[in-house]
Each structure stands twice: as structure tokens, then as C-alpha cells.
């Protein structure tokens, strides 16, 4: 009997040791199964092809603070193409060149021509009415003074002209004309300034314009 027990123990001990070895191998395999992030499972911190929540600028998408996203103009673009051009191609600036001023010779020639035209209708005389007496004066042009160009308003000028009456009295008339060019000048007023050198009114200059006032 005792011999039989020894034989049985001899057989059972190797089997028990083999079982322990198998258990150890199984535990090792289980540990491998608990790998922190197995391939293809959601536990992977940065899975391939998926942007992370904190990724600031995923590939192909503009970040919020991107100043000039590709293909879009910045809001502060000062002169986008085709807008805001000061002088668009083919358009002239609105400013226009100022008209050339008249000269005293142009004004004097225009007065001479006007007197000649009026004299045809007056039988060879320029006929005007004396402002104080109402008498009709028949005058012949002696000369137009060309000392200076006198201006009394926007595109309004005057010049003194000497005339001789049929009775030999000397008259000084101020002839006012208005226009921007010699061709557009027209007579707007004729006043009797002097009779035999005695002035009915005088002239004074103010801010570049000539004004008249009654003689003292």
C-alpha cells in the first residue's frame, strides 16, 4: 500500500507543475490583451485620419483667426479689384480746366464792334438818352480806353469809351459787357459817366471788383 502511494505521488507532482505553467502562460496572454490602445479601437489618442478636438487648424480647414483664408479677400482690403478706383479707366476726372480770362483788348474790340452795329441803326450815331434831362444824344466814338481790364462781377466787365456829340460836347460812357469768351460777350448796360470832364459818379475798387458811387 505504501509503495502504491509513492508511485501515485510521483505521477501527480509533474502534472501539477505542468498545470501551474499553463496558468502562468494564460495570465501572460491576458495581460497582452489589456494593451492601452489596441489598433483600430477608440482609445487611440490620435486615430489616423480623424482631427483631435484640440487640433487648432485641421488640414484643409481655415482657423477662426486666419486673417486671409485662401480664395477670400480680407474685410479690410482697401481697394478690391474694380472698386474704389479714383479714376476708373476710360473716365476723365470731374475737375474741369478754368476758362481763360478775357483781355482788355478783347473787351475793347467787342465794344467797338457793338458801337459800329448800333450806329448803323442810328444813322451813323450811337443814340442814348441823357439820364438827367431825357435828351437824345447822338454820339460818335472817339476811343475805347485800354489802360486796364475792369471787372464788376462774374464774367462781367466794363471799359470807358470817349464820344463826341453832334454839338461838340465830350461824353464819357461806361460800357458793360458780360461773357466768358470774346465770341459770347454781350452789352448789358451803358451809363453816362462824364459830361465835358465832369463826373456824375466815381469808381472805387473793393476785393478786386469795381463799384460806383455818386460823385460828391
pLDDT more than 90, % of the chain: 43
Q: Look at residues 171, 164, 160 and name the one whose alpha carbon lies nearest to residue 140.
A: 164
Q: Is 163 exposed, middle or buried (0-12, 13-18, 19+ CB in 10 A)?
A: buried
pLDDT range class, residue 86, cuts 50, 70, 90: very low
pLDDT digits (tens, 9 = 90+) for 22-46: 555 545 554 454 444 445 444 444 4
Q: What is the pTM of this model?
A: 0.53
How big is the chain by its Cα radius of gyration, in Å? Answer: 57
DSSP state of 58: -
C-alpha cell at 188: 448789358
C-alpha cell at 130: 441823357
The dihedral formed by the CA atoms of 177, 178, 180 and 181, expressed in degrees to the nearest 10 = -30
Query: Reduced to 3 states, what is the DSSP secondary structure of residue 59?
Result: coil
The dihedral formed by the CA atoms of 129, 133, 136 and 137, expressed in degrees to the nearest 10 = -80
Residue 118 domain flag? yes
Helix (H) or strand (E) holding 112: helix 104-121
Is 4 or 145 the better-scoring residue by pLDDT? 145
Residue 26 domain flag? no
User: Taking a C-beta distance cutoff of 8 angstroms, is the pair 87, 79 a contact?
Assistant: no
Residue 144 domain flag? yes
Residue 168 domain flag? yes
Residue 178 domain flag? yes
Q: Look at residues 148, 151, 137, 150 and name the one whose alpha carbon lies nearest to residue 194.
A: 137
Residue 9 domain flag? no
pLDDT range class, residue 79, cuts 50, 70, 90: very low
DSSP state of 18: H
C-alpha cell at 169: 460836347
Tell me, what's the pLDDT at 12? Answer: 61
Residue 45 domain flag? no
**Residue 93 above 70 pLDDT?**
no
Averaged pLDDT score across all residues of the chain: 73
**Residue 104 above 90 pLDDT?**
yes
Structural domain including 183 reads 104-214
Residue 92 domain flag? no
The number of distinct structural domains making up the chain is: 1
- The neighbour count for residue 191, using CB atoms within 10 Å, is 15
Average pLDDT over residues 156-181: 95
Tell me, what's the pLDDT at 90? Answer: 42
Amino acid at each position: 500500500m505504501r509503495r502504491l502511494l509513492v508511485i501515485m505521488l510521483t505521477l501527480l507532482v509533474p502534472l501539477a507543475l505542468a498545470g501551474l505553467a499553463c496558468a502562468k502562460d494564460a495570465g501572460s496572454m491576458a495581460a497582452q490583451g489589456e494593451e492601452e490602445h489596441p489598433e483600430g479601437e477608440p482609445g487611440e489618442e490620435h486615430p489616423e485620419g480623424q482631427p483631435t478636438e484640440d487640433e487648432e487648424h485641421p488640414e484643409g480647414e481655415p482657423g477662426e483667426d486666419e486673417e486671409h483664408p485662401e480664395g477670400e479677400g480680407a474685410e479690410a482690403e482697401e481697394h478690391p479689384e474694380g472698386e474704389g478706383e479714383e479714376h476708373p479707366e476710360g473716365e476723365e476726372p470731374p475737375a474741369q480746366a478754368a476758362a481763360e480770362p478775357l483781355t482788355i483788348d478783347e473787351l475793347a474790340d467787342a465794344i467797338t464792334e457793338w458801337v459800329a452795329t448800333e450806329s448803323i441803326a442810328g444813322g451813323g450815331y450811337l443814340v442814348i438818352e441823357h439820364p438827367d434831362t431825357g435828351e437824345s444824344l447822338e454820339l460818335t466814338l472817339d476811343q475805347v480806353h485800354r489802360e486796364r481790364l475792369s471787372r464788376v462781377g462774374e464774367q462781367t466787365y466794363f471799359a470807358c469809351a470817349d464820344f463826341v456829340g453832334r454839338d461838340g460836347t465830350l461824353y464819357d460812357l461806361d460800357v458793360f459787357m458780360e461773357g466768358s469768351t470774346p465770341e459770347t460777350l454781350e452789352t448789358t448796360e451803358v451809363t453816362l459817366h462824364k459830361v465835358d470832364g465832369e463826373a456824375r459818379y466815381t469808381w472805387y475798387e473793393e476785393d478786386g471788383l469795381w463799384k460806383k458811387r455818386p460823385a460828391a
